[in-house]
Chains A and B, each alone.
Chain A
Amino acid sequence: MNKKIHYLLMFALLLFINGLMAQNKTVTGKVTDDSGVPLLGVNVLEKGTSNGTSTDFDGNYTINVSGDSSSLEFTSVGYLLQSIVVGSRSTVNITMTEDAEQLGEVVLTALGIKRQKKSIGYAVQQVKAADVLIAGPVDLAQGLQGKVAGLNINTSNGTSNASSRVVIRGNNSLFGNNQPLIVIDGAIVDNSELEQGNVGTSTESYRDWGNYLSYLDMSTVEDISVLKGPNAAALYGARGANGVILITSKKGMKREGLGIQYSLTSNYTDVYRFTEVQNEFGGGFRAGLYTANPQLPQTAEGQAFVPSLYGPTYGGSTGINSSHGDVPGGFYTADLFSWFGAGSSWGPRLDGTPALWWDGEVRPYSPQPNNRDYMYRQGMENTHNISFSSASDLGSIRIGLNTTKGDAVVENTNHKSTSYSLGSHINISKVFSADINANYNQSSRLNAPEIGNNNSWSKFTIYGMSREYRGLEKDLYFGEDDYDGYKVDFGGAYPHAEYSKDLFWHVYENNDRLWRDEFLGTIKLNAEITPWLNAFVRTSADVIGTRFEKTNNTNNLNGLNGGRFEKTVSKDKTFNTDIMATLHKDNFLTEGFNASATFGYNDYVTNSAGVRGVNGSVFRVPDIYSLSNYVNKNDTDAVETRNDIQSFSYFGLLDMSYNNYLFLQVTGRHDTNSTLPKDNNSTFYPSMNTAFSFTDAFDMGNFEDVLSYGSIRFAWGKSANAAPPYLLDAVFDTSTFGGQATITRPTSIPPNDLTFQTSESKEIGLALGFLENKINLDFTYYDILSENQIMTSTVAMSSGAEKVVFNSGALSNKGIEFIVNANIIRNSDFSWDVSLNGAKNTNKVIALAEGVEEQQIATVFGSLGAFMKASPGETYGTIYGTDFELDDQGRKQVTNILNKDGSGEVIGTQYVISSDVQKIGNAAPKLTGGIGNVFRYKNFRMSALVDFKWGGDIYSVDHAVSMGSGLSQETADARNGGGLPYTYPDGTTDDVGMIMEGYNIDDGQVNDRVIHPVYYYGITYAGWSHFNRPRSLSVFENSWAKLRELSISYAVPKDVLKRTNIFKDLSLSLVGRNLFYIYTTLPDQLNPEAINGTGNGQGLQWSAFPSMRTVGFSIKAGF
C-alpha cells in the first residue's frame, strides 16, 4: 500500500478522536478473568432495566446509568454472574470467575480475540493446558492426541520424543507442508522438523530431531485454541490456510501464600510390544529346500557353524553355508527370491546343536526369543518446574523455571532442556496496559536413532537379524588403541552382513549432538483511547540458534582415518507485529444491535541463515574433531542455507450482533508477500461467518426443558498462501571444472506465472445443548477447495529435468466433525464427565500440472515396493503396487517354475503378477477421534482417554519381510507339518507341502502343485525385491483404539494442608501414557503407529520400533 493512504488512515483516526462526544454520568470499567486477561463480549446490564452493553476485545465497557443506586450485572457464558452496586464510583472494574460447569464457552479466536463461542460462525475448539498435560505427555502435540475433533496428530516411528505430524482437516497441499500455523501469544512459529533430520521426506531412512512442538516448554501454556480450516484462519493470511493452533501462555494471578508452585514429573518408558516372530528355526534360506532335515554347514574339521548371507566363510566347508547361492533347479537365490536380508530364518531347527559362532566360540544353536531387546533399555524423563505468581493493582506476573532431563529407550540417546519464562500484565496508566511474555529455552540432544537404514536397529531386527542372533557385538566392536579406539572388523564369518557390521560402531562412536537456544518474546501495548475506541500494538520475536555437530570417531588404529566432523550453525528469526484499532458501538441504529469495526496492520519477517562445514578428510592430528583438522582439502566442504520471507497486510473485521442471538462477522485481508513476482505479489481475500442462537431468539416453551441451547452457524471464507522463497527464476546451476566455470540446467522446471495458492472454504455447524446443557453436541460439515496449489511433480528424466514446480494444482477436502460432551453425574462428591470427538475427511486431487498425469507422494523402495501417488479424480492417499494378474474369471493365475536343466521338472510355482501397478489400498482413515472420561470423587480425580482410528490402510514392508524371510510364526507353523506330503530333492519327505490357490496356466487346471513353504512365502512375499510381487498381501486396514492416557490424582484436602502451614495446595498423580491397544486390526502385533516421518506418505510402514508405553508420577505443590 502506498504511503499516502497510510497517512490518510492515521488522519482519519485523529478525526474520529476529535469527534469524541461528551456523555452524561457514565460508568466505565474493565472486565478481566482470574489471570487478568481482558474478556470480550461480557454483557453489562443495569439491573431492572433493559439498558445494557457489552465489553470490547480489551474487556472495556462504558454504560450510562440512572444514578448511584444502580446495580450492574455482568454475565458471560462460562463465567459466574457478578452483581455490583455502582455507588459513587465512575469506574467499576470486575474480575469474572469461571463457572466450572460451563468451561470452554469463551474461546480465543484469530488475532487473540476472546469471544463467546456462540457468537462464532465457524468451528473452533479450545482445550485447557491442564487437560492436555494431565498424563505427562512428552510434548504438547502428544498431549493433544485424541482431544480435538479433526486435529489428527501422528507421532512418527521412533523414540518417545519423535516429531508429531499435526494436520487439521486433511491435506491442503499435495507435497508441501500441511501442518497448521502455530501462534504463541501472537508470535508466529514454525512447526517444521529440524533440518538435521529428514523426517518429512524419506520413508526409507531418516532421523528425527523433533519439530517445534517437541521443544516448547509446556509448563507455560495456559490453553490451546484450535481454529480449523481457512475460515478461522482468514485473518492469518499467507500461512493460516492449514488452520491455526493458538497457544496462550500463563500469566500471573493472585494466589494464597507465597505464590510459589513446584511440580516434579517422572516418567519411565519401556518397549513392550514387538512384532510376533517364530522362535523355532534359525538363519538360512537355501538349506530347507534340499532336505526335510536341514543341518548347519560344517567346517573342514566337522564343526557345525552358523551360515552367513553370502558365503563362503570357512575354507573346505561342507553343507549349505550361505543364505544366497544356488538352489535346486539351477537357479541362484536372487533369481527367484530376490534380495532378502541376513534376517532370513528358513534355516535349520534351533535344536541346541553346538555351533561355531562368528567370534570363534562354540555355542548352542538355540532359540533367542528376546534378542530384539538387546539395544533397548528403560527410558526415563524427569521434569522439575517451579513458578512464582502474583497479581496486584499494578498488574500480574508469573516467573517460571522448567528443567527436563531424559534418557531414551535407545542407548546413547538423551536430551536435556531448561527454560525460563515470564508472563506479565502491567497496568501502566488508566489508559495503557502492557502484556509481556518472554521465554528462553535451552535444549540439547545427544543422538536421534537412525531409522530404516543399515545403521538402524529397527531395520536390523526385521531385515538383518536371524532368529539365533545372540547380540554379541556390543562387547566386541571396539578395539583399544592409543587414541579413542578403532573399529573391529567382525570378519568374513560374520553372518549378518552389512546390516549390523557397522551398526554398533555407528551407534556408540558416531555421535551427533544438537544444541538449540530459543528466545520467544511478545510485547503487547494496549490502549483504551475512548470508551468506544481502543487499540493495541503487539510485536513478537522468535529467535532460534542451533548448533549441530557430527563427530564420527576415527575407526583406524592410527586415530586419523575413517573419522568425520561436521558442524552446522544456524539462526532463525521471526518477527511478527500486529497493530489493531477497534471501534465499538452498542445499540447502534436500533436497540439491541451492537457493532464493532476493527482495522489492523500486520508485518511479518522471517529469516534464517545457516552454515555447515564438513571435514570428511583423513585427520592431520589424531583425536581432534575440528573443521581445520584435514589433510586433503578436497574432502572438506561448506554449505550455506538461507530463507528470507517478508510480508505485510492490512485487514479489517466488522462484527455485528442483534439481541445476543444473531451474529455476523465480515473480514477482509490484503497481503503483500516477498516470495512472488513483484508485479503480482499481493492479494485480497474476504470471509464472513454468522451464528444464530435460535433458542435465544425464540421462546421454546416446554421444549426448552429438553433442548436448552441451540445454535446454527455458517461460514464462508477464502485464504491465500504464498510460495516458498527463491522459486521465481529459471536459474542455471553452476560448478567448476578444469579451472573454468560450468553451467547447467537445474533439476527442476520452474513454475510459470507464480501466484498465490488459494483456499475457499464453506462450513455449516450446529451446536445443541440438552437437559440444561448436561449434554452438548457440536457438529460441523465443511468443504474446502484449494486451488492454484504450488506443487512439485516428477517428470520423466528424459525430459531433461526431474521435476516441475507448478502453480495450478487443485485439491478438495470435505468432511465432518462432531463433539459430544456429557455431564452424566454431577454432585458435590462425585462427578462423571464424558467427551467424545470424531472427524472424517475426504481429500481429493482435482488437478495437477499440465502434462503431469500423476504425482508420487511417497515410496518405500521405489515402485518395486509400494508407493503412494495422486491422480486427478482420486482420493488422496491411494497406495499402489504390483498385484495378482487375475484371469477373465477373476482367478489368481499360477505358473510353474521349471528346472533350468530343461528336463521340464516343476520345482515350484509362483503367481502371475501384473507388470503395471494397481491400487492396493488407501491410507485415508474413515474416522478418527477420542473418548475421554473424567471421574471425580471428593479429592480423587481419574481421567482416561481412548483415541481411535477407524479405517485407512497401510502397506507393511515389515510384514512382507517377515513372511518372505521365514520370521513370522505362520511360516514356522507351515514347516511344522500338517501340510501336504512333500518330497525333497534328496528323497526325504515331510508334511509341509502347500498349494498356491489359483488357476495354473501351465497345467491348464485349478492349481494343485504341491510346493515347499519357502517357494510359497519366499517368492510371494518380499520386502525389498527387484521382482513384481503381489503387494496387496501386506496391505492391511489399520484400525485401532488405544488407551492413550490414564491418570489418577489426589489433591490433599485444604484443611489438612492448613495444619502443615507450608503447603497451600498439594496433589499427587499417577499417570500412564500409550498403555495398550484395546483393538487393532493388524496381524502379528505389527505396530499400528509406526509410520516413518511426518510427511504425506502415511500409508507406508517400514522398520517399525516396537510400541512403547510410559508410566510415571507427578507431585504438584503450592507454597
Chain B
Amino acid sequence: MKTKINITSRSILIVFLCVGFMSVSSCDDDFGDINNNYETKLYEATAPGLFNDLIRTTVKIDAHHRIPSAWLYQWTQSAAMYGESGYRLDANTTGPWKSYYTSLANAHEIQKLIAEHPEAANMTNISEMTKVMMAYKTLTITLLYGDMPYSEAGKGFEGPENFRPSYDSQQSVMEAAINDLSAAVDNLSTSATQVSLGGFDTLLGSDIPMWIKFANSLRLRYAMTMIEKNASFAGPVITAALSKPLLTAEEYISLDPAQISDFEINRAGYFRGNAYMRMGSTIWDAMSSTAAVDGSGIYDLRCKIFFEPNEVDEWVPYPQNPDLSTPTVTGDPNQPSRITGDWNTLRSNFAAFNVYYTEDLTVPQFIITGSQISFIKAEIYNRGLAGVAADAAMAEGFYNEGITASVNFWYTHANGSAIWDVNKPATPEPTALELTTMLTNPNVAYSADPAMALSQIYKQHWIALFHQQFEAWNLQRRTGNATPNVPLTTSLVKDFNRLPYPNSERETNRINWQAATDGGNDSETTKNWMQQ
C-alpha cells in the first residue's frame, strides 16, 4: 500500500536536495588550477634564462669564501693564521660541488633545447658560450676535487640510470674541457645570422670577440696548469692559444658589481668571526725590502691596499710559524664599524687585512685577468715552453706588463671606491715614477738569471692572485710550491692538496666514490693529479 509523503518528509527532502545540489556544484573532478605551482616557477625552460643562471651561479658563495679564510690564505701563505677557525673542511665541500652539477644539468638542458630548435644552426654561439662557461666551471671543480663524475654526470633528470654517475679521471676531464674551449675559439662566430643572447649574457653582453678572447685565455691558463703532467696534450694547446686573441694585460673577465645591476659581493663576514688572519710574514717579505715596521721598506704598491698597519701604525706581520714568544693577537679590525664609525677602534697589534678591502662590496670577482695571461706568457718565454723559444726580453716585457696591470687595477679600484677613506691612493693610477720605482726595485726587477727570474715571475703572479686564492693555490700546486713560502712547522693547516668529496657522494654514490678514493681514502692530503 502506498502512502502520501507528509509535509515533514517533504521538508526533509527539500533540505537534502538543497545540500545535494550544493555538493554537486563542488563535484568538479577537474579542480581547476588549484594544483598549479604558485611560486615563481616555469613549466618550460628557455636557453637565455638557463644561460644567465650559469653566470649567476659563478658568483662565489659561502664555501668559496670560507675555504680561503679558514685554510687557503694560510696554506698559500698569502696571509697568516693565528688561530684555528674551527670550521670543518667536510662541512664546506658540498656547496661548490652542488652548484657545479646543477649547472651541468642546466647546460645539458641548453644543448638539448638548441638541438631541438629548428634554427639550431644559428645558435652555435649560445651552444659554444655554454661550453665555455661549463669548461671554466668544470676545470675549477676538478682542480678542487680531482677525479669527478663528468661524462655521465648531470643527467639525473633523464632517467634513473643516471642517479649514480661514475667518476672520470681528472686528466680526461681537463682534456675534455680544454678541447671544448678550443672548439669554442674556432666555432664562435660574429656572423649576423647567429642568435644573440642580448642582455641575458650578463657576463660579457654578448660581445663575441670578447668571448673568443675569454675562451682562448682560459685554455692557455689551464693548459699551463697541466703542462708538467701532460705536455703532449698541453703543448699544442698553448701554441694554438698564443696564436689567437688573448686578453690584453689591462683586460679582465669578472663578475663586476660596477657592471652588473643590483649586484654586490659581500665577503666581509669571512674575514671576521672565526677567521683568525693577519698579514703574514711571507707576503710581507715579498712586498717590503726590509723588516722596518715604519713601512719604509715597502716597495709593492699594493701592500697598503691589501693590508693596513697595526694599531700604532706599524707594519708588524704575523709570523707564518709563530712560537711562544709571539704576542697574543689583539683587536678585531675587519669590522664595518671601522668604516661607519671610528676607524681607529678595534685595530690589532699586527698588520691586518685592510678593512676597506674586506668590507668593499664592489671588488670584482675575477674569472681570469689579462695580468695573469701576461705572467703565463712571461713564464712561457722564460722557460721556453710549447715550442716557444726562451726569450728573456719577451719574458721581462710580459712580466712587467703583468705587474703593472695588477697594480693599476688595485690603485684604480681603491681610488674609485666609495667606502675607501683613510690611506686611500691619491690618484687613479700610480705615477710613472712610483711604478718605475717599484719595477726597478732590486726585488722586483727582472733578473738576468733565468731561474731567479722564474721565481720572480711566480712570486709576482702569486701576489697578483691575492684576490683569487683558488688560482693562487693552483699556481702553488702546479709549480711544486715554487710560489713564495717558508716551511710550515707549526701551521694550523697542513698538507692541503684538494677538497674531499662531499659526504653525500659517499652516501649516495658509494661504489663509484670508493673506486675514486682508493677504497674510501678521501683526504685533503691526497695530491691533485696536476700537482708536481
Contact = CB atoms under 8 A, between A and B. Distances in A.
Contacts of A13: 13, 16
Interface stretch (A106-114, A399-407, A694-702, A856-864): A856-864
A551 to B, nearest CB: 22
Contacts of B36: 726, 729
B274 A498 contact: yes
A339 interface: yes
A10 B41 CA distance: 44
Contacts, number: 294
A675 interface: yes
A324 to B, nearest CB: 6
B1 A22 contact: yes
B120 to A, nearest CB: 19
Contact count band on A = 35 or more
A129 to B, nearest CB: 31
Interface in B432-458: none
B101 A735 contact: no
Contacts of B84: 310, 324, 334
Contacts of A7: 24
A737 interface: yes
A737 B101 contact: no
Contact of B53 (A530, A581, A743, A852): A743
B55 A915 contact: no
Nearest to A852: B163
B86 A310 contact: yes
A985 to B, nearest CB: 17
B171 interface: no
A313 B328 CA distance: 7
Interface in B90-145: 90, 94, 97-98, 101-102, 104-106, 108-109
Contacts of B161: 851
Contacts of B287: none
A856 B41 CA distance: 28
Contact of A800 (B8, B23, B155): B155
Contact of A799 (B26, B34, B50, B153): B153
A210 B84 CA distance: 39
A1042 interface: no
B160 interface: yes
Interface stretch (B188-196, B255-263, B369-377, B386-394): B255-263
B35 interface: yes
B505 A744 contact: no
A863 B42 contact: no
Contacts of A799: 101, 105, 153-156, 162-165
Interface string B58-86: 01000000000000000000000001101
A370 B382 CA distance: 70
B3 A745 contact: no
A738 B520 contact: no
B100 to A, nearest CB: 9
A739 B49 CA distance: 11
A1027 B59 CA distance: 32
Nearest to A880: B507
B16 A527 contact: yes
Q: In terms of DSSP, what is the predominant structure of the interface of chain A?
A: mixed
Contact of A646 (B9, B34, B86, B154): B34
B198 to A, nearest CB: 9
A312 B328 contact: yes
Given A17-B13, A579-B20, A915-B520, A864 B163 contact: no
A745 B490 contact: no
A314 interface: yes
A100 interface: no
A733 B163 contact: no
A85 interface: no
A797 B23 contact: no
Interface string B1-31: 1110100110111011101100110110111
Nearest to A529: B12
A601 interface: yes
A200 to B, nearest CB: 21
Nearest to A313: B328
Interface in A631-682: 634, 640, 642, 644-646, 648, 672, 674-675, 678, 681-682
Interface residues of B, number: 104
Interface string A615-633: 0000000000000000000
A796 B508 contact: yes
Interface in A742-797: 742-747, 749, 794-797
B508 A742 contact: no
Nearest to A430: B8
Contacts of B24: 3, 6-7
A621 to B, nearest CB: 16
Contacts of A794: 504, 507-508
A734 B148 CA distance: 27
Interface in A782-819: 794-802, 804
Contacts of B274: 498
Contacts of A497: 86
A746 B86 CA distance: 32
B40 interface: yes
Contacts of B506: 863
A6 B156 contact: no
A672 B23 contact: no
Nearest to A609: B38
A737 B43 contact: no
Given A682-B29, A734-B41, A795-B164, A19 B2 contact: yes
B90 A1026 contact: yes
Contacts of B514: 915-916
A745 B98 CA distance: 12
Interface string A568-583: 0000000001010100
A738 B50 contact: no
B309 to A, nearest CB: 20
Interface string B261-304: 11110000000001000000000000000000000000000000
B488 to A, nearest CB: 12
B230 interface: no
Nearest to A725: B35
A326 B3 contact: no
A535 interface: yes
B3 A797 contact: no
A720 to B, nearest CB: 15
Nearest to A579: B19
A800 B102 contact: yes
Interface centre among A537, A579, A728, A800 (most CB of B within 10 A): A800
Contacts of A796: 149, 156, 163-165, 504-505, 508-509, 512
20 contacts: A3-B27, A6-B20, A17-B13, A21-B3, A22-B1, A313-B328, A315-B327, A332-B492, A642-B38, A646-B26, A729-B41, A732-B45, A742-B49, A743-B42, A800-B101, A851-B160, A862-B90, A864-B90, A915-B521, A916-B510
Among all A-B residue pairs, the 10 with the closest Cβ atoms: A800-B105, A851-B160, A799-B156, A738-B202, A915-B520, A743-B49, A796-B509, A737-B56, A798-B149, A742-B53
Given A309-B86, A729-B41, A915-B520, 9 more contacts: A497-B86, A527-B12, A646-B34, A726-B35, A733-B40, A733-B41, A796-B165, A798-B509, A915-B521
Interface of A: 1, 3, 6-7, 9-10, 13-14, 17-22, 309-310, 312-316, 318, 324, 326, 332, 334, 339, 429-432, 492, 497-498, 525, 527, 529-530, 535, 537, 556, 561, 577, 579, 581, 601, 603, 605, 634, 640, 642, 644-646, 648, 672, 674-675, 678, 681-682, 725-726, 728-747, 749, 794-802, 804, 849-852, 856, 862-864, 867, 915-916, 1026
Interface of B: 1-3, 5, 8-9, 11-13, 15-17, 19-20, 23-24, 26-27, 29-31, 34-46, 48-50, 52-53, 55-57, 59, 83-84, 86, 88-90, 94, 97-98, 101-102, 104-106, 108-109, 148-149, 153-157, 159-165, 199-200, 202, 260-264, 274, 324, 327-328, 336-337, 490, 492, 494, 502-510, 512, 514, 519-521
